[in-house]
Structure 1
Amino acid sequence: MRRFFTAAALPLALLASSVTAQDTPRPAAEAAPLAELVQEVEIPFETFTLPNGLTTIVHTDRKAPLVGVTIYYRVGSKHEPRGRTGFAHLFEHLMFGGSENVENFDIPLEAAGSTSTNGSTWYDRTNYVETVPTGALDLALFMESDRMGYLLGAVTQDKLDKQRSVVQNEKRQGDNQPYGLVEYKLSDGLLPVGHPYRHSTIGSMADLEAASLADVRQWFTDNYAPNNVVLALAGDIDAATARPIVQHWFGEIPAGPEVRKVAAEPVTLAAPVREEMTDQVPVTRVIRAWTGPELTSPDAVPLAVGLHVLGGLASSRLDNVLVRGEQLAVSVTAGAQQHEQINFLQAQMDVKPGVDRAVAEKRFDEVIAELVAEGPTEDEVTRAATQFVSSQIGALEEVGGFSGKGATLAEGLLYAGNPAHYKAELERLAALTPAQVREALQRWLGRPSYTLAVIPGERTEDGALMGGWGDEGTVPPPEPDPKIPVEVTRTASPRQAPPVAPVAELTFPAVEHARLSNGIEVALARRTAVPKVSLALTFDAGTAADGAARAGTQSLMMELLKEGTTSRSALEIAVEEERLGASIGTGTTTDSSTVTMTALAANLVPSLELMADIARNPAFDPAEVARVKDQRLAAIAQEQADPRGLASRAVGPLVYGEAHPYGSVGASGKPAVIQALTPERLAGEHRKWLRPDTARFTVVGDVTMAELLPALERTFADWTPPAEPKPVKNLTVPTPQPARKLVVIDRPNSPQSVLLLARVLPLTGTQQGREALDLANEVIGSGFLSRLNMQLREEKGWTYGISSSLSGVVGPRRLSVFTPVQSDRTADSIRLILEQMEAFAAGGQRVNETELQRVTDGNIRALPNSFQTNGQVLGALMTNQLLGRPDDYQSRLPEIYRAIDAQAIDSAAGQYLSPENLAIIVVGDRKQIDEQLETLDMPIEYLSAEEL
């Protein structure tokens, strides 16, 4: 089932006023009863099982001509033996490397229009997903069956070595982040050596080095049999049609051994345990953690709700006391990460700079202890439950992928023996009482905890040595892969891939237009698949309204909109939002500032009233402004500690120049700018840029224009623009002449270097007819099958992934190439990127027939998959409006793509994708990379994190 109770591992800056959760003086907004919302969540299904044990779940959803294919194997990292940690995940990578009858899984699937072609591994399972046009279902099932039954004849030492390098770089990429080693320490502190959930899914470097071809073959034989599989088919399919297809492709695969069961009970520590570690982080982070019961435990739902009340809600107990009230922390979070046999329970606090950690920890403990002793209020339980139910309703939009309806059903069967387990959880939510939550919290959080404090300083732990079994210091490490030759032979006679049937054209929703009485434009695309509405109120502003000199002003103003209005406190906003099951957000892109809302259709009117108050009547209370400024400064420090953040902050000023509106360090801004902002200046910023004559509404979802317009008139029609003329952004400011150079930012102890190559292109986003350039970008660097990814990841194994992009802005567009690479291959990676781009742009390696088919016909086939959700349609409409495209642009794309030939793509590459004059930003450890970079024979500049 979809794990909608899982808490995020990273902290969220949840902001509101300094009152407690129980102080809610405003009357409750009228909201649909929780029991009624639960009734909206329904995923009908049928199941059948083949004689070889493969179980298939089928859910029929005819809203689009596509099928989500979701396949779960009952094996994950908890099944790995000592000395082979990380092996389940490594094997997942190998499963994409081809089988006896398929050279490459991604090429034919993407050519057929598949999206979300991917896989993942965690403690309990390994899964593979693709969402395909109905006419490509036979192809998808042929491929899944081929790697299930006919893999070993195609797995070679070369493939193992390459994917081993890719996985090791995936591990380095995670370890290289601020707080990137925390997961290892938490599991080590909570669980004893040998516990199946103790070692990380990514594993240790030594164990990855030890994985041999013989290990690969044995893992496949022991675990990858049809009797260990749940296959979910959701979408334009029914059980009667599915059964013979599944039988045809999977029926001849013999059953194998059952995946071994492992004992993995929650662990109660004998006494509280405390540890500290220093790391290159901006603020001290304190984490309190426990293990909890299995996913099917009666306590699982109450614990998820209790921890959401503690630190998941915007109005959570920890937020109210530590962030808003006493301002001892800049962010907090809490949640339950549920697995089949165990639950990781966690509360987390980032201590505000300058605050005594002991004082903050004392209050942190007191808030936790108070909730455990007294339990939540009934209103808190209802608000938390409503958020979970609203999230699950939103998940009904997608048939496939990692969190769609197929995954929900498959996980229910896999973990609970019931595809409809999600429904049991929702009904449990609707009936949950504060007493049940209190009792569960007392049973599990009343036990001794493990506490980890991460202190700013030099990194002293080595991620390469972490993530393994846990006894590495007492026993010799495993020997590296001896690479003993293994005879590789076919399993059976060749099989032929089936043809792909014709794919239905995209049916993009019609867009209706209207105008409020005060002139605000309204665009509506009605969709009734789920009872929700997504809405955006967009203003012509964005970070470009700041430029470099005022970087961060617009985004801080937008962030403060939810921190209190002239009639509601920040807490009242949060409580009302939670009670309605709505999600209201504010933010900035380069060209726009936006207030967004996702609301339950039944609660649209009161949700709009709340949104209108947030957008129109911010209070900019001095105390709230001061607090949010402190949090923003901490967020900037976090960016400056993160290699990706440093590269992103450097690129705008470097390629656009600080005189251009796009030449800033980004939305977070500069510390000096943030420190100087006052409530009066922020209020002036709001008056200047957020006004009805710079605004438009874009709406997608289950509402008619006849219902929508009166609700918008009621909340926005009396909003009149100020007397001052509309502000104007000058996007024609000249940018610096592009020039090839290296810009190096030193980040000691980095196991990877982050590369960002960029330059400004001589065209703007509003220039039409540039689809050939977009397709050329797909060929070189956008997508898994791009040339750069195939070379740097699949062939060389130097990175976990690389991507190129063309910025979708109104003004001058930017070409960017981004990748983290292993440190000892920094210069080699730069050379290879430049060589590949030059070969394409100069005509040495023109687009081939396979690439042409993938980016034209493959994209056409994938269009129905690309607009399953209200959010996807909303994003497309907003982009159309921003760049001056017609409403039916997406419907025109098939005709546009069919008219683009290889010559047009090659011409676009030659004109715009040359690596000439790219600025190359490198964030890494200079001790490891300086000598390499000198061999590139380029002028080098050096920046420090403090300059950005």
Structure 2
Amino acid sequence: MKSALMLRPLLPAIAAFALAGCATMPAATADGTVAAASTAPTASLQDIVAAVDIPFETFTLDNGLQVVVHTDRKSPLVGVTTYYRVGSKSEPRGRTGFAHLFEHLMFGGSENVENFDVPLEAAGSTGTNGSTWYDRTNYVEVVPTGALDLALMMESDRMGYLLGAVSQEKLDNQRMVVQNEKRQGDNQPYGLTEYVMAEGLLPVGHPYRHSTIGSMADLQAASLADVQTWFRDNYGPNNVVLALTGDIDAATARPMVERWFGAIPRGPDVVVQEAGPVTLTAPVNRTITDQVPQTRITRAWTGPGMEHPDAVPLQVGMYILGGLASSRLDNAMVRGEELATSVSASAQQFEQLSQLEATVNVKDGVEQAAALALLEGEIARMLAAGPTQDEINRAVTQIAAAQISGLQSVGNFGGKGMTLAEGLLYTGDAGFYRTELNRMAALTPAEVRGAMQRWLGRPAFTLTVEPGERTLDGGALGGWGDEDTMPAPAADTGAQVEVTRTGPERAYPEVAPVGELTFPAVEHATLANGIEVYLARRTVVPQVSLAMSFAAGSIVDPIGRAGVHQTMIDLLSEGTTTRSAEEIAIEEESLGVSLNAGAGAERSVVSMTALTANLAPSLELMADVVRNPAFNPDDVARVRQQRVAGIAQQLANPGSLAARAFSTVVYGENNPYAYAASGGDADVVANLDAAALEAEHDRWIRPDLATITVVGDVTMPELVAALNATFGDWRAPATPAPVNTVTAGSPEPAARLVVVNRPNSPSSFLTIGRLVPFSGWQQGMETVDLANEVMGGGFLSRLNQDLRETRGWTYGIGSGIPAAQGQRVLRVATQVQADRTADSIRVILDQMAAFPSARPLDAGELQRVTEGNVRNLPNRYETNGQVLAAILTNQLLGRDLRYDATLPSLYGAIDAAAINRAAAQYLQPEDLVVVVVGDRSVIDPQLETLDMDIEYLEASEL
């Protein structure tokens, strides 16, 4: 991020979760079999909610800084989360986007800190990050305990002593970065919807009306004098909440906070503005055209602020309407009359109002009027009769269960620090999450119905986005709203403004050593039918993350048949021989389980995250999905249409277009890897039938191609017992197991410049790379990975520092060599402002050529990617999901399952010479494929200066 927006979660992250009196797993007998199938009761909603707790202490400094501390000793990490009570709703006319622009400036260094990322990442922090939204600006990082003093010094320095380091050059640069962030968002399909929705719902001048990212004219008008005034008016400690969560306690934290923040003087209190919901005098309908593949209809209202008695019932009611997998709109419009390919509904909650939305992507060939009528009918039915108690219970169970993953994260976005900080900032109560959760658990159908009637019974704004030419200019949108009658603000002239030091000189505190990485042991067992099971036991939360992976992925599709395997995998959860798709969804929601199926290039995975207490019934559901899909013709027809719509969405998205074109050119048209991430061929998918999909399932989804990997709060005997009860009697067919080996070769690397025309694009999407001469994993790959990290693997990489931080031509750029069993590929990807397309390509190639010949690795880079990475390892394995992903990658690449535990010694043995050699061998700019997706009327004259032959592809060819 270091970006514009951050939605407030439907329910804040929940912490310290324990279930009393819940069922245990079935006991295994001496031979590993199960005495009886699971009949254990599941955890009740009351059990779940009653045990939720995030213990905290608070204190306030004399200057008004509020501090909340939560202790969690599971890892030697501390989340540092800083919330400022200033967001875009505080901006005056003519200066929209300023709060977010200032967020960027606050990463650019303070009077005693030249760069916030360099010392923190060297100390082992996650990359510093931040976001801006209507109500606040926040900054987050998670640091090793021994680096907390450093993090506090740096956060206090930008809070108290920033202005002496903010120059006109930094302002100009970050202004360009933010404008490119705006272009990148606007360039997406439906990318202008947010602006139009705000115009339709709120009057000119309402604090929530203009977008957080603002208008181009206002961004261009921001001056250095504005910056100084904005800082002095809004960033005093009395407008701040600081959350410290993790390996820290209040007694230890208080003197540290007082040392670094105590001398910062109070500032003016942020002015609280009238910014409540608005009731339209009559329904409003608007239609726009855009470069989109499907008609999208959104019906919206403004709603109450977060402390209003109706806020929680509306959140749950909208979730029942269109958030659950078994939602009213899904059942009526996607599965029922099949007028839509997807639907959603939500209550986006802000401090002083909420935005209530229901959205429908209309199926091709369906009359808009019919889709709108059904949408209106379902809303009317909800208002008339309300939900059932069962729907409420399922919604609250799913919401709470989905948040349990957040219990594992002490900081960063979505972690416990954000939960506590937002509650304290917005309501004065860091424990407000409990108020919301208790309110949810006590809801009745009458309460939800009443709230829905009061707010959705008012006149609505309905926006229809139809396929066609984009006629709106995103650059002119997002501002105050009176731009058609008022002159644009004058652009910043760069007038000289005095920039002087405002605070004392302060040195960095020392960083304490970190302990050895603790990566969980991985146990191994075998089920009765031979399926191998791997378990990394972690008891931080009563939750289990499980992945059943099959040695088959999208590369098993024959050339000309791309999309068959992925479509089959999609259908696994769309109905079994005993359960309909709706019944599967209802059971998931009742159990609080998240069940997903997806096909990667080389592996297909059915994954599940379940409460430990509900593991047995959750596995029963998963086993039915894996083993007994029905491939009912009606379900097949529905999923076919959804996948075809998804492919159309890909072809409308600049990044997806670039990825499809790049893979085809790099791998060649006769290699299945060329289509592995494409989503498939729309014509192939549209003509699939149940018989073909059933045959695909029988061929590849079989126990002798399966491996089960589990991370979480369960013992191996309990796990094996539950798995044997659900999968142990699943026998492989008599036919030999197929192999997903790719024998087709790829073309020799050769320089090519390929252009895909996408008219009216304010940005160009670049994908640059080539195949590298190795497959899977081999000794020494760590050195290549570190060389790539220096080049383009993070915020501090050379490419990002040059293209974003120095030139301001992009919002971000990255490079990588993704893990794969087959031949791997070097890929650089970025979205750049359209008028800098060719210049950006030159910069990328020049940076690659300079490493190491003209610019070898320096000492700071070496320390960051070796010692800094070692210090950062506890951050990488904080959650069950992170550990599971690491083990699955190790399985894919054939590494030891605890390979990650060896990284400290591996990184410690790598020197600058080795990284330089890796860069010289693998990261040079020769024989690169360059794919550009952009507006040819803008980019063609530029690309002609590159002295490369240009090839053209149409989106319809991809």
TM range (shorter): over 0.9
Q: Look up the match of 2:17.
A: none
Q: Which of the numbers 864, 884, 890 marks the counterpart of 1:874?
A: 884
Structure 2 residue 332 is matched with structure 1 residue 321: yes
Deviations 1:505-564 (CA, angstroms, capped at 9, x unpaired): 211111110010111010001111111110000001111112542211111100000110
Partner of 1:498: 509
Check the 8 A contact 1:410/1:419 in 2, yes or no.
Answer: yes
Give the structure 2 partner of residue 368 of structure 1.
Answer: 379
- Aligned partner of 1:17 in structure 2 is none
TM-score normalised to structure 1 length: 0.97
Match of 1:19 in 2: none
2 CA distance for matches of 1:224 and 1:90? 14
SS, match of residue 452 in structure 1: strand
* In the alignment, structure 1 residue 722 sits paired with structure 2 residue 727: no
Which of 873, 880, 886 is 2:896 aligned to? Answer: 886
The aligned residue for residue 567 of structure 2 is 556
Alignment check: 8 A CA contact 2:312 2:436 kept = yes
Instruction: Indicate the SS of the match to 2:464.
Output: strand
Aligned to 2:95: 84
**341, 345, 351: which one pairs with 1:334?**
345
Partner of 1:933: 943
2:816 corresponds in structure 1 to 805
Q: Is the CA contact (8 Å cut-off) linking 2:554 and 2:676 kept in structure 1?
A: no
* Residue of 902, 905, 912 corresponding to 1:895: 905
Residue number in structure 2 paired with 1:403: 414
Change (3 A) 1:230 1:250: same
Amino acid in structure 2 at the alignment position of 1:4: P
Q: Which amino acid counterpart does residue 864 of structure 1 have in structure 2?
A: P
Identity %: 64
**2:278 alignment counterpart:** 267
Counterpart selection for 1:570 from 571, 577, 581: 581
Contact in 1 for aligned 2:657/2:955 (Cα 8 Å): yes
Describe the SS at the equivalent of 1:523: strand
Counterpart amino acid of residue 10 in structure 2: F
Evaluate the alpha carbon distance shift between residue 353 and residue 544 of structure 1 in structure 2; reply closer, same or farther with a 3 A threshold: same
Report if the CA contact (8 A) 1:661-1:730 is conserved: no
**C-alpha separation in 2, matches of 1:730 and 1:596:** 24
Q: Which residue pairs with 1:918 in the alignment?
A: 928
Q: Which residue of 416, 421, 426 maps to 1:415?
A: 426
Give the secondary structure class of the aligned counterpart of 1:662: helix
Paired amino acid for 2:891: Q
> Amino acid of the residue matched to residue 697 of structure 1?
I
CA distance in 1, matches of 2:493, 2:662: 44
Gap change, CA 1:408 and 1:941, over 3 Å in 2: same
Report Cα offsets for 1:387-411 as digits up to 9, x if no partner. 1111222211100001101110000
- Quote the offset at 1:659 in angstroms: 2.1
Name the residue aligned to 1:637: 648
| C-alpha separation in 1, matches of 2:181 and 2:708 | 41
After superposition, give the CA deviation of every residue in 1:333-363 in whole Å (9 maximum; x if it has no partner).
0000000000000000011010111111111
Separation (CA, whole Å) in 2 of partners of 1:810 and 1:887: 16
Contact 1:285 1:453 in 2 (8 A): yes
Q: Secondary structure of the equivalent of 1:800?
A: strand
Deviation at 1:328, TM superposition (A): 0.6
Query: What is the distance in 1 between the residues matched to 2:401 and 2:125?
Result: 28
How many angstroms apart in 1 are the aligned matches of 2:315 and 2:373? 24
Deviation string for 1:723-757 (max 9, x for gaps)? 22111123343210111111000000000000001
Does residue 793 of the first structure (1) align with residue 798 of the second (2)? no
Structure 2 residue 507 is the aligned partner of structure 1 residue 483: no
CA distance in 2, matches of 1:714, 1:818: 46
What is residue 20 of structure 1 aligned with on the other side?
none
1:233 paired with 2:244, answer: yes
- The equivalent position to 2:187 in structure 1, one of 176, 186, 199, is 176
SS at match of 2:793: coil
Partner of 2:159: 148
- 2 CA distance for matches of 1:354 and 1:634? 12
Task: Give the CA deviation at 1:3.
Answer: 3.8
Answering whether residue 866 of structure 2 is matched by residue 861 of structure 1, we say no
Cα deviation digits, residues 184-237 of structure 1 (max 9, x gap): 000110000000000000000000000000000001000111111100000000
Q: Secondary structure at the match of 1:758?
A: strand
1:242 equivalent to 2:253? Answer yes
Q: Deviations over 1:857-878 (max 9, x none)?
A: 1100000011111100100010
Kept in 2, the 8 Å contact 1:636–1:668? The answer is yes
Shift of 1:136: 0.3
Q: Could you tell me how far 1:655 is from its partner in structure 2?
A: 0.6
Residue 658 of structure 1 deviates from its aligned partner by: 2.4
CA spacing shift, 1:419–1:311, aligned 2, 3 Å: same
How far is 1:40 from its partner?
3.1
AA partner of residue 943 (structure 1): L
Quick check: 2:555–2:676 contact (8 Å CA) kept in 1? no
Aligned to 1:590: 601
Structure 1 residue 650, shift from structure 2 partner: 1.2
**1:141-197 alpha-carbon deviations (Å, 9 max, x no partner):** 000001111101000000000000000000000000000000000011000000000
Q: Which residue of 1 aligns with 2:953?
A: 943
Equivalent in the alignment of 1:849: 859
Partners in 2 of 1:320 and 1:136 — Cα distance? 51
| Deviates further, 725-734 or 298-307 | 725-734
- CA-CA distance at 1:6 after TM superposition: 7.2
Runs of at least 5 residues in structure 1 that lack an aligned partner in the other structure: 8-26
1:285 to 272, 277, 296: 296
Map residues 72-111 of structure 1 onto 2, 5 A cutoff: 72-111=83-122
1:771-850 paired onto structure 2 within 5 Å: 771-841=782-852, 843-850=853-860
* Greater mean alpha carbon deviation, residues 808-817 or residues 878-887: 878-887
Q: How does 1:443-458 map to 2 (within 5 A)?
A: 443-458=454-469
Cα deviation 1:259-295 (Å, max 9, x = unaligned): 1111101000000000000000001000000000010
Provide the C-alpha distance between the structure 2 equivalents of 1:476 and 1:29, rounded to a whole number of angstroms. Answer: 70
Contact 2:160 2:503 in 1 (8 A): no
Q: 1:363 to 1:30 in 2, by over 3 A?
A: farther
Alpha-carbon deviation of 1:661? 2.7
| Contact 1:77-1:122 at 8 Å conserved across structures | yes
Mean Cα displacement is larger for which, 366-375 or 723-732?
723-732
Structure 1 residue 766 displacement after superposition: 2.8
Contact 2:559 2:670 in 1 (8 A): yes
- 2:638 is matched with which residue? 627
Q: Which is further off, 538-547 or 306-315?
A: 538-547
Amino acid at match of 2:9: F
Length-normalised TM-score, structure 2: 0.96
| Residues 802 and 820 in structure 1, CA contact (< 8 A), matched pair in contact too | yes
Q: Which one is further off, 386-395 or 561-570? A: 386-395
1:729-768 aligned at under 5 Å gives the runs: 729-768=740-779
Q: CA-to-partner distance for each residue in 1:875-919, whole Å, 9 max, x for gaps?
A: 001011111111221111000000000011011111111111110
Q: Check conservation: 2:11, 2:399, Cα contact below 8 A.
A: no
| Matched positions, count | 928
Note if 1:678 corresponds to 2:689. yes
Q: Does 1:128 align with 2:133?
A: no
Q: Secondary structure, in 3 states, of the residue corresponding to 1:802? A: strand
Could you tell me which residue of structure 1 aligns to residue 917 of structure 2?
907
Moved more, 108-117 or 608-617: 108-117
Shift of 1:31: 2.9
1:615 aligns with 2:620: no
Read off the aligned partner of 2:209 and give its amino acid letter: R
Give CA deviations for 1:916-939 in whole Å, capped at 9, x if unaligned.
Answer: 111000000000000000000111
Residue 692 of structure 1 is matched in structure 2 by 703
Q: Does 1:208 align with 2:229?
A: no
Aligned-CA RMSD value: 1.3
Residue 305 of structure 1, aligned match among 309, 316, 324: 316
CA contact 1:548–1:665 (8 Å) conserved in 2: no
Aligned to 1:527: 538
Give 1:16's aligned residue: none
| Aligned twin of 1:194 | 205
Give the aligned partner of residue 13 of structure 1.
none
Q: Which residue of 324, 335, 347 corresponds with 2:358?
A: 347
* AA partner of residue 206 (structure 1): A
C-alpha contact (below 8 Å) 1:311/1:319 kept by paired residues: yes
